[in-house]
């Protein structure tokens, strides 16, 4: 299993940041690219459906959640495993850290360098959007 983590500090408290980015059913608070979202409770847990530009849909399953973190998974043709975690932790001296982590395993024949580069771009874009929304 491979792991990528991207984190950055923000001056807001963990509770204030989590109020903006911590709602699995409220991704549009910080992700302007998401055109619509819905969440339903199923026998397998919460399922979030996102409508992206061009009408593309993404379906994500909540796998874990706690006071300042949640993890989700989604099916991807290029990966045999994908688990993404959003977490907020206190920073020494005040403020907080937003930490985004992806655990993944590429499917056979998938270019590892390209996959890693694309996932880092995804994490970087999300972190930037989260910081912008939390600071507003």
CATH of region 2-135: 3.30.530.20
Taking the C-alpha atoms of residue 56 and residue 62, their distance in angstroms, rounded to an integer, is 20
Task: State the pTM of this model.
Answer: 0.93
pLDDT tens for each residue of the chain, 136 residues long = 999 999 999 999 999 999 999 999 999 999 999 999 999 999 989 999 999 999 999 999 999 999 999 999 999 999 999 999 999 999 998 999 999 999 999 999 999 899 999 999 999 999 999 999 999 8
Give residue 136's pLDDT.
87
DSSP state of 110: -
Q: What is the pLDDT of residue 21?
A: 97
Cα 13 to the chain's mean position, in Å?
A: 19
List Cβ neighbours of 86 (8 Å cut-off, separation of 6 or more): 21, 22, 69, 70, 71, 98, 99, 100, 130
CA 5/CA 127 separation, integer angstroms: 11
Look at residue 35 in the predicted model and tell me its pLDDT. Answer: 96
What is the per-residue pLDDT for 97? 97
What pLDDT, on the 0 to 100 scale, is given for residue 36? Answer: 96
Residue ranges per structural domain of the chain? 2-135
């Amino acid at each position: 299993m491979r792991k990528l983590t991207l984190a950055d500090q923000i001056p807001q408290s963990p509770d204030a940041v989590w109020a903006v980015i911590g709602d699995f059913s409220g991704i549009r608070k910080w992700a302007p690219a998401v055109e619509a979202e819905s969440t339903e409770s199923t026998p397998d847990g919460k399922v979030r459906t996102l409508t992206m530009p061009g009408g593309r849909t993404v379906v994500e399953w909540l796998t874990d959640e706690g006071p300042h973190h949640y993890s989700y998974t989604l099916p991807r043709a290029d990966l045999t495993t994908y688990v993404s975690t959003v977490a907020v932790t206190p920073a020494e001296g005040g403020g907080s850290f937003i930490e985004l982590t992806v655990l993944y395993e590429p499917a056979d024949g998938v270019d590892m360098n390209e996959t890693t580069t694309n996932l880092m771009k995804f994490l970087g874009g999300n972190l930037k959007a989260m910081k912008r929304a939390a600071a507003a």
